[in-house]
Amino acid sequence: MENLAIFTVLNYPSQEEFFKILDVLESRKVGYVEIGIPVTNPYVDGELIQQAHQAVIKDGLTKEMVEDALKTIKERYSFKVILMTYKEGVELFDIAKLSHSLYDGIICVDQTLDPTIFNQPVYIYNEDVSTEVVTNYLQSDSLFNYVMSGRGKTGTFDAVPTEYIETIKRIKTVKPEDKNFIGFGIKAKEDILEVLKNGADGAIIGTEFLKIHGKDGIVGIETYLDSLA
């Protein structure tokens, strides 16, 4: 499962349950965990993730709570920690001031982050991104490139689009050694195998994972992850 990234939202649906989720991800040896740092308007995300963001914001998340949670995560778990947020989250929780030891990479949906300030920014690519921007992004080292399967919001795809195939080809002409992970629309083992066959190095799952946890709890995500192995 080292080529799998799972997205979940910090302290959702509660801090206790959040860490139970991380325990499961660790036990299944998931390679990367994307931790959503909540904002008031996660406009690129679908309804389910938006609701998760809003619930945690409503509970009164502070920058001190974010830092404390990340310290605990790095002490307890071996997976790579990727923060995922928006410009609002970067500013609201002073992400620039976090020690680089507390996370392994960061995705900011609506702002290009300076790699001299933030630890290994992970950039998002799709067919709307110009060749000039692709080349600029690839100058920085990153754990992987986040390649959108197609254009749209998270959680809105009935099937995995194939636009990512051309995006990967464009990336590889500039930096063939990079890892490219596909997100948006990945739900099942078959989806992962398909994107790997088409040139990807890994897959990212978010909405489907949260949906299963919301429906069937910890037992549900244990069964789900076993089905992906």
**pLDDT tens for the 229 residues of the chain, in order:** 899 999 999 999 999 999 999 999 999 999 999 999 999 999 888 889 999 999 999 999 999 999 999 999 999 999 999 999 999 999 999 999 999 999 999 999 999 999 999 999 999 999 999 999 999 999 988 999 999 997 655 545 567 889 999 999 999 999 999 999 999 999 999 999 999 999 999 999 999 999 999 999 999 999 999 999 8
* CB-based contacts of 46, cutoff 8 Å, min separation 6: 153, 154, 155, 156, 207
> Left (φ > 0), alpha (ψ -120 to 50) or beta: where does 99 sit?
beta
Q: Where are the alpha helices (DSSP H) in the chain?
A: 15-27, 47-58, 63-76, 87-92, 131-137, 164-174, 189-197, 207-228
CATH architecture of the domain 4-228 equals Alpha-Beta Barrel (3.20)
Helix, strand or coil, per DSSP, at residue 198? coil
pTM: 0.93
Please give the Cα distance from 1 to 28 (Å, whole number). Answer: 7
What is the rounded CA–CA span in Å between residue 48 and residue 83? 18
